[in-house]
Amino acid sequence: MKTKPKIFLGYLLPIIYLFFISSFGFAQGLMAVSDNLLSHGTAYPVTWKGMSTFPKFQFHTFQVVSGKTGWTKSKYNSKLFSRLETINTSQNGSYVIASQAGDSAVVNFTRNFDYQGLEARGFVIEGPHGNWTIGSEQEVLDTDDNYVALIETSPTESVWRLVVTQKNGAENDADFYGWMTDGNRRIDIKAVYNYQKPGKKSMVDLMMGGDAWHKGFELFENAKSIGAVQLGPNKKQLVIWLSDEIDSFTEFLVAAATVGLLNDYMKMAE
């Protein structure tokens, strides 16, 4: 059957978000991280030059030397005489990150989004004091947003698998769950929703609530923070934290993981 254009909540909210932060500015600065990372870690600003599908990020002693992102593939399905509709989008990519010490890693990643909902049926009557909907409104039943990456640092080291997933449905609130592992070690990835110094709230915070938008991710091993990444919303707020208490391999691993998260989840207003 012939499909018609649709606007889904998962796509509409980021557009609203970018509109308001670009129109009204953003008063906050750095996102909140654990006390241990604040006192025994360093925050490095992230920069990049040129235009490419995967930015060549630079920070501390690390740099993305190459990267590419493929086309987004989409599938839509809706059956006749049924309100149930599904949509799936997926995108693959890869990048190479290197350090001044001579280390390098190849990272292959994929981003997959699944939506299931009930299609709106009926029509809307506009009136001088409001609108009335006759029929059924669109309803989100379930969404799954998954980011998966494989990090290969060398032929002799185990491949690390990184997963960040966000689930949202009619019976549960949206939240992030993430981890990375080589089969022996496990690093947990948690979303950060607050700023170190909240200051004046943005228009989005006033509309949606201060915890509505995740500001970045923080990484923990054995319940101890080892790094973090802030996602924007402007270039001065693209920051990667690295713990001063981790070994050089773990530092490089955190660097390789965080630039991938930054590319896929960053929110830019400029």
Asked whether 105 and 153 are in contact (CB, 8 A), the reply is yes
Cβ within 8 Å of residue 158, ≥6 positions away: 182, 183, 184
Report pLDDT digits (tens) over 120-153.
555 555 666 566 555 555 565 677 889 999 999 9
Where are the chain's structural domains? 9-265
Alpha-carbon span 60 to 42, nearest angstrom: 10
Report pLDDT digits (tens) over 37-58.
999 999 999 998 777 789 999 9
The predicted structure's pLDDT at residue 195: 86
Amino acid identity of 254?
V
For residue 131, give the H/E element and its range.
Answer: strand 130-136
What is the mean pLDDT of the segment spanning 220-245?
92
Alpha-carbon span 115 to 9, nearest angstrom: 10
Backbone angles phi, psi at 75, to 5 degrees: -135, 135
| Of residues 187, 212, 185, 192, the one with CA closest to residue 201 | 212
Alpha-carbon span 58 to 230, nearest angstrom: 14
The predicted structure's pLDDT at residue 23: 37
The predicted structure's pLDDT at residue 206: 52
Both tokens of residue 32? 């909140």
Lowest mean pLDDT among 55-59, 99-103, 128-132, 213-217: 128-132
Looking at per-residue pLDDT, the higher value among 263 and 78 belongs to 263
| Of residues 1, 16, 3, the one with CA closest to residue 212 | 16
What is the mean pLDDT of the segment spanning 56-79?
88
What is the mean pLDDT of the segment spanning 204-229?
79
State yes or no: pLDDT of 183 exceeds 80: yes
Looking at per-residue pLDDT, the higher value among 237 and 206 belongs to 237
C-alpha distances (whole Å) from 34 to each of 7, 31, 38, 196, 240 are 38, 10, 6, 10, 14
Q: How crowded is residue 229: how many other Cβ atoms within 10 Å of its Cβ?
A: 28
Lowest mean pLDDT among 25-34, 61-70, 122-131: 122-131
Both tokens of residue 204? 């989005």
Q: What band does 15 get if pLDDT is binned at 50, 70 and 90?
A: very low
The mean pLDDT value of the chain amounts to 79
| Of residues 133, 156, 147, 159, the one with CA closest to residue 231 | 147
Backbone angles phi, psi at 10, to 5 degrees: -65, -30
What is the mean pLDDT of the segment spanning 196-206?
61
Alpha-carbon span 227 to 254, nearest angstrom: 7
Question: For residue 209, what is the DSSP state?
Answer: -
Alpha-carbon span 261 to 162, nearest angstrom: 10
Looking at per-residue pLDDT, the higher value among 92 and 120 belongs to 92
Alpha-carbon span 221 to 100, nearest angstrom: 25
State yes or no: pLDDT of 240 exceeds 80: yes
What is the mean pLDDT of the segment spanning 157-176?
78
Alpha-carbon span 268 to 270, nearest angstrom: 6
